[in-house]
Amino acid sequence: MVSPKILRRRIRSVQSTAKITRAMEMIATAKMKKAQDMAIAGRPYSDKIMQIIADLSAQAAAGGAVHPLLVARPVNKIGIVHITSDRGLCGGLNTNLNRLVGNFILDQKVPVTVISVGSKGRDFMRRSMREIRAEFTKLGDRPKMADTMAISQIVIDDYTSGLYDRVYIAYSRFVNLMSQKPVLELLLPVEPAQLPKTVSPEYIFEPNAVHVLGELLPRFVEMQVYHSILESIASEQSARMMAMRNATDNAYDVIAELTLTLNKARQEMITKELLDIVAGVEGLK
Amino acid sequence: MPTMKLEIVTAERQVFSGDVTTIIAEGTEGQMTVLPKHAPLITMLAPGELVIRKDGDEQYMVISGGFMEVMPEKVILLADACERSDEIDLERATAAKQRAEDRLKSITPDIDQSRAEAALRRSIARLHVAEKRRRGPGYRPSV
């Protein structure tokens, strides 16, 4: 039998834990909404840029000129942009992504180098002794395009200089509030989507198609990196929201259980005291 | 007056969406005016001013480079960054111009000259647009 005093203390402590997790859940909800809005706001831009690239690359290829970011080379080395969160307490989000990327790396026959965004992924890669080309942390909850430029710049430069021949980007895709999916996508070389040829009219290009394509492709890569980071943030916040909601619910369950035990203990004590009194009175007779 | 649909989007947000009668933009090959029923065109944009007109009502924006896709009924402008004239912080713009000028004066090997020049062009364009808003429409600064 645990004494009621200790039980009361434990209830209080679980209550304050529940308060904290509830507050964290609410913060995560607000941040998740913002991150989601940001991800959606960028969608028209990325749709459009993808479409122009599809139009252009067909036209530029017809002219015989091919941009380096479009050429698939024999693969001697692979680069991975690994996007995780900086903070924990978000369920299995980072673990799932780390497992996916870890397995992918083990399956490769060629060396792999990692560009890690977010400290959780960086620590994982360090622990498993992977080669880290660059690391970025503390991007915050609402990064601007300019904040992520450095990441895409490194990727584009390294790819052009031949440091790696294929680049993947790994991040947690925001499916909905309940589920986030770890994904690994090809970033470079850029594979233009196959669009039905009939829809695009004959464009005039200024200065010319090759030039425009050369300017568009890096922007497309930048855009993809930026967008993946936004998705990651939305995923992180929604995963944290769910994790904290579960934690709060569990805390309430624990409180209910403890309260029941407390009441039982109290009742038992009263019964015992009553018995004592009755016994005492009987003895006096 | 015939109109066309204009959408200005950046990677971060949609800046403008609506019907306009005239677009004046700074292309890399020079300034151009786009009217409805223009032939399909894709052009690169230089850092500079963007004017959109609707029934005599003018709006100024500043763009730091990008692309414009022109179709007969619709224009889509993909900007690297875009600010409406009422969003420009005059003090910050002036400071940025000063910084860019200083950097160009004290040119050293580790300063990228073309980047500094681009920064200067952007800041001048921004000031230009901000100035117009202050003096009201129709005002042309003597630069």
pLDDT at A25 over 90: yes
**Whether residue A254 sits in one domain with residue A195:** no
- Summarize the confidence of residues A177-181 as an average pLDDT: 88
Residue A193 pLDDT level (bands cut at 50, 70, 90): low
A199-202 long-range contacts, CB within 8 A, separation 24+: A200/A55, A201/B40, A201/B71, A202/B40
* Right CATH for B89-135 from 1.20.140.90, 3.40.50.300, 1.20.5.440, 1.10.10.10: 1.20.5.440
Kindly determine whether residue B78 and residue A144, on different chains, have CB atoms separated by under 8 Å: no
pLDDT at A1 over 70: no
**Whether residue A229 sits in one domain with residue A147:** yes
Residues in chain A within 8 Å Cβ distance of B39: 204
Residue of B nearest to A37 (CA): B13
CB A50 within 8 A of CB A220: yes
**Whether residue A212 sits in one domain with residue A157:** yes
Q: State whether residue A53 sits within 8 Å of chain B by CB.
A: no
pLDDT at B137 over 60: no
Rounded to a whole number of angstroms, the distance from the CA of B105 to the nearest CA of chain A is 26
Span A150-178, pLDDT tens digits: 899 999 999 999 899 999 999 999 888 88
Predicted confidence at residue A201, as pLDDT, reads: 65
**Whether residue A66 sits in one domain with residue A17:** no
Helix (H, G, I), strand (E, B) or coil at A165: coil
**Whether residue A162 sits in one domain with residue A97:** yes
- Determine the Cα–Cα distance for residues A274 and B50; give it in Å rounded to an integer: 89
Q: Which of A64-68, B2-6, B29-33 is least confident?
A: A64-68
**Is the pLDDT higher at B100 or at A179?**
A179
Q: State whether residue A252 sits within 8 Å of chain B by CB.
A: no
- Summarize the confidence of residues A8-25 as an average pLDDT: 96
Residues of chain B with CATH 2.60.15.10: 4-85
Predicted confidence at residue A212, as pLDDT, reads: 84
Q: Which of A4-8, A210-214, B23-27 is least confident?
A: A210-214
CATH number at residue A74: 3.40.1380.10
**Whether residue A43 sits in one domain with residue A156:** yes
pLDDT at B139 over 70: no
Residues of chain B with CATH 1.20.5.440: 89-135
Predicted confidence at residue B143, as pLDDT, reads: 47
Q: State whether residue A145 sits within 8 Å of chain B by CB.
A: yes
Mutate to test the interface with B, among A50, A147, A204, A213 (most CBs of B within 10 A): A204
pLDDT at A199 over 60: no
- Average pLDDT along chain A: 88
Q: State whether residue A56 sits within 8 Å of chain B by CB.
A: yes
Q: Is the ipTM of this complex over 0.90?
A: no
- Summarize the confidence of residues A126-153 as an average pLDDT: 88
**Whether residue A255 sits in one domain with residue A191:** no
- Determine the Cα–Cα distance for residues A50 and A217; give it in Å rounded to an integer: 9
- Summarize the confidence of residues A240-244 as an average pLDDT: 94
pLDDT at A198 over 70: no
Residues in chain A within 8 Å Cβ distance of B43: 205-206, 212
Which residue, A32, A9, A13, is CA-closest to A177? A32
Minimal Cβ distance to B27: which of A56, A203, A206: A206
Predicted confidence at residue A278, as pLDDT, reads: 93
**Whether residue A266 sits in one domain with residue A152:** no
**Whether residue A108 sits in one domain with residue A213:** yes
| Angle between the N-to-C axes of helices A209-284 and A4-41, in degrees from 0 to 180, rounded to the nearest 10 | 160
pTM for this predicted structure? 0.82
**Whether residue A86 sits in one domain with residue A163:** yes
Predicted confidence at residue A63, as pLDDT, reads: 61
**Whether residue A13 sits in one domain with residue A103:** no
- How many CB pairs below 8 A link A and B? 68
- Summarize the confidence of residues B30-47 as an average pLDDT: 90
| Angle between the N-to-C axes of helices A209-284 and A145-161, in degrees from 0 to 180, rounded to the nearest 10 | 120
Predicted confidence at residue A275, as pLDDT, reads: 93
Helix (H) or strand (E) holding B127, with range, is helix B113-135
Residue of B nearest to A214 (CA): B44
Residue A164's domain comprises 32-241
Predicted confidence at residue B98, as pLDDT, reads: 83
- Determine the Cα–Cα distance for residues A271 and A239; give it in Å rounded to an integer: 48
CB A130 within 8 A of CB A121: no
Kindly determine whether residue B42 and residue A215, on different chains, have CB atoms separated by under 8 Å: no
**Whether residue A18 sits in one domain with residue A146:** no
Q: Which of A73-87, A239-253, A259-273, B119-133 is least confident?
A: B119-133
Q: What is the CATH number of domain B4-85?
A: 2.60.15.10
The tokens 């989000």 sit on which residue? A93
Domain count, chain A: 2
CATH number at residue A19: 1.10.287.80
Predicted confidence at residue A107, as pLDDT, reads: 92
